[in-house]
Chains A and B, each alone.
Chain A
Amino acid sequence: MLGKLIKHETRATSRIFLPLYGALLILTIFTKLVMAIGAPDFFSEAASNNRVAEIILGISFTLYFILIVGICVMTMVMIIQRFYKNLFTDEGYLMFSLPVKTWELVLSKLLVGMIWSAVCTVMIVLTFFIFSLGTFSMMELSQAIRSAYSMFYLQTGMELNLFMAELALFILVNTVASILMIYVAIAIGQLFSQHRIVAAFGAYIVITIALQIIGSVFMAVLAIGNLENLVLNGRDAMTTIHWLINGSTVLNVLFGIAFYYGTQSIMKKCLNLE
């Protein structure tokens, strides 16, 4: 049943996102073409002799940034709206009478929200890649990467791959925990008989403050005895940063689990659709 929920959730969200990403790709390719034909040196040199191309590029880059910001905001709005509207307004009457478990409802929303967040990142990287096509050679790129690896190892004594993997894990866990935090705030809002959206905002703010406090305590504990290392450059500082990233990941995993169970148990035991 989880698969079916994910399928229908994807269907419900892709009708908004597919046109947006289609538009983004078309705009990117159009911009790149104008750039290639009219102003090949757009990035490297300020002066150009093709006024028309410059104007078109100015407009299309503005559109590009508006679209990127719009898509990012839309992803966020969608994550909130699909959870709130589909589960806690009139549509909830249908969703909660389906023969599915509560955790499946939560997880399907979460996974599809994650997928769209990932798509958003990948698409932005892809457009950058399209823009920069032809401005570098593969040889140069691989050389630059290789030298980055050895530089990193020299300076920190750590493999860049490991560091990147840890950073990626941190970002992933952080994203999941952030989405779950929105969910639990919405769920807490449902415990009130009136002004549920206001209550959800309130819950979100209270949780944020609580997390700030816990985070500061965590940082303080970690920083004690490591202060001179943080100031120093090089290997010792890197060790501290390393611990900081992994510590935050662990903390976020714990928060995420708490949010998930909080959300699920409110939905299971205290559900009361308006």
Chain B
Amino acid sequence: MMMTILSTKNLTKSYGKKTALSNINMEIQRGRIIGLLGPNGSGKSTFIKLAAGLLVPTEGEITIDGDVPGVDTKAKVSYLSERTYLNDWMRVSEIIAFFEDFYTDFNRIKAENMLKDLNINPDDRLKTMSKGTKEKVQLILVMSRQAQLYLLDEPIGGVDPAARDYILNTIITNYKEDASVIISTHLIADIEQILDDIIFINQGELVLSSSVDEIRETHNKSVDGLFREVFKC
């Protein structure tokens, strides 16, 4: 098994004339929780979409476990989009059946337990749920897979602090040791304690990539503090 789960080479993505990501070179190892941090519009979502195979690079290359995004990598990657992508008319139990059908690594028992913990009734229709509850359901589905790479785009933005703790706890306890989790967010203080590494991006460029311990040692600051300093307006 390769130790590198995700690697990019001169990864560039532009939409027309606008460059969203330029010349990103990085390697992400297995077994890490990585915070992908940057201000709004810095290219975080673009990066995650490229890794999820929802966008094709303009230039350069991105590989997951050695492969360009495609059917094989999608089976290994569990992607939480920033959008609520669930069909409104479905019941939670139906969407679970949907995931079970398409993802061989989906664990139904895990999903049902998490639903119970967060007091969500599997027979409820998504239409009747609040936005926060829908986000919880989506996160439960994504975390119930035994994936090798989790891509979580703004996973905690819309949920209440109590559920936030539960979710973060789920993230750290749920993934296998050889899997990695990439979390994109600007709510750094909330997730700082679970991160191993951080990647700062700004205006499509890689600003800093380091382990959290390193930051604490060399800068003598928290990640949140460093972020505020680096991205000072």
Contact B55 A99 (CB under 8 A): no
CB distance from B61 to the nearest CB of A (A): 15
Max chain B C-beta neighbours (<10 A), residue from A7, A90, A97, A101? A97
Per-position binary interface string of chain A over residues 15-39, scored 1 when its CB falls under 8 Å from any chain B CB and 0 otherwise: 1000000000000000000000000
Known: A90-B85, A91-B87, A193-B15. A271 touches B56 (CB 8 A): yes
Known: A99-B75, A271-B55. A94 touches B86 (CB 8 A): yes
Of the residues B15, B53, B77, B85, contact of A94 by C-beta under 8 Å = B85
Alpha-carbon gap, A193 to B14, bound state (A): 12
Of the residues B75, B89, B101, contact of A8 by C-beta under 8 Å = B101
Per-position binary interface string of chain B over residues 90-113, scored 1 when its CB falls under 8 Å from any chain A CB and 0 otherwise: 000000001001110000000000
Known: A193-B15, A193-B16. A99 touches B84 (CB 8 A): no
Q: In the complex, what residues of B have CB within 8 A of residue A270's CB?
A: 56
Contacting residues of chain B (1-59) with chain A, CB-CB under 8 angstroms = 15-16, 49, 52-56
Alpha-carbon gap, A43 to B93, bound state (A): 51
Q: In the complex, what residues of A have CB within 8 A of residue B84's CB?
A: 90
Of the residues B49, B54, B74, B83, contact of A99 by C-beta under 8 Å = B74
Q: In the complex, what residues of A have CB within 8 A of residue B101's CB?
A: 4, 7-8
When C-beta atoms are compared, the residue in chain A nearest to B75 turns out to be A99
Known: A4-B102, A99-B102. A93 touches B71 (CB 8 A): no
Contact B54 A93 (CB under 8 A): yes
User: Chain B: how many interface residues by the 8 Å CB criterion?
Assistant: 25
CB distance from B2 to the nearest CB of A (A): 19
* Contact-size category for A: 20 to 34
Q: In the complex, what residues of B have CB within 8 A of residue A210's CB?
A: none
Alpha-carbon gap, A97 to B87, bound state (A): 15
Contact A97 B98 (CB under 8 A): no
Contact B74 A269 (CB under 8 A): no
Alpha-carbon gap, A93 to B54, bound state (A): 8
Contact B54 A96 (CB under 8 A): yes
Contacting residues of chain A (48-106) with chain B, CB-CB under 8 angstroms = 86, 90-94, 96-101
Alpha-carbon gap, A240 to B53, bound state (A): 51
Tell me if B79 is interfacial: C-beta within 8 Å of chain A: yes
Tell me if B213 is interfacial: C-beta within 8 Å of chain A: no
Tell me if A273 is interfacial: C-beta within 8 Å of chain B: yes
When C-beta atoms are compared, the residue in chain A nearest to B16 turns out to be A193
Tell me if B81 is interfacial: C-beta within 8 Å of chain A: yes
Q: In the complex, what residues of A have CB within 8 A of residue B52's CB?
A: 97
When C-beta atoms are compared, the residue in chain A nearest to B56 turns out to be A269
Contact B55 A272 (CB under 8 A): yes
Per-position binary interface string of chain B over residues 156-200, scored 1 when its CB falls under 8 Å from any chain A CB and 0 otherwise: 000000000000000000000000000000000000000000000
CB distance from B150 to the nearest CB of A (A): 12
Known: A99-B74, A271-B54, A272-B15. A93 touches B87 (CB 8 A): no
Alpha-carbon gap, A19 to B46, bound state (A): 42
Max chain A C-beta neighbours (<10 A), residue from B53, B56, B72, B83? B83
Contacting residues of chain A (133-150) with chain B, CB-CB under 8 angstroms = none
Tell me if A12 is interfacial: C-beta within 8 Å of chain B: yes
When C-beta atoms are compared, the residue in chain B nearest to A273 turns out to be B54
Q: In the complex, what residues of B have CB within 8 A of residue A96's CB?
A: 53-54
Tell me if A1 is interfacial: C-beta within 8 Å of chain B: yes
Q: In the complex, what residues of B have CB within 8 A of residue A94's CB?
A: 81, 85-86
Q: In the complex, what residues of A have CB within 8 A of residue B16's CB?
A: 193
Contact A90 B83 (CB under 8 A): yes
Alpha-carbon gap, A100 to B70, bound state (A): 8
CB distance from A183 to the nearest CB of B (A): 19
CB distance from B62 to the nearest CB of A (A): 15
Q: In the complex, what residues of B have CB within 8 A of residue A268's CB?
A: 56
Contact A12 B53 (CB under 8 A): no
Which A-B residue pairs are the 7 nearest by beta carbons? A99-B75, A93-B85, A93-B81, A94-B85, A99-B74, A90-B83, A97-B79
Query: 26 pairs across A/B with beta carbons < 8 Å?
Result: A1-B102, A4-B101, A4-B102, A12-B87, A15-B89, A90-B81, A90-B83, A90-B85, A93-B79, A93-B85, A94-B86, A97-B53, A97-B54, A97-B79, A97-B81, A98-B74, A98-B102, A98-B103, A99-B71, A99-B74, A99-B102, A101-B71, A193-B15, A193-B16, A270-B56, A273-B54
Binding site for A on B (CB under 8 A): 15-16, 49, 52-56, 71-72, 74-75, 77, 79, 81, 83-87, 89, 98, 101-103
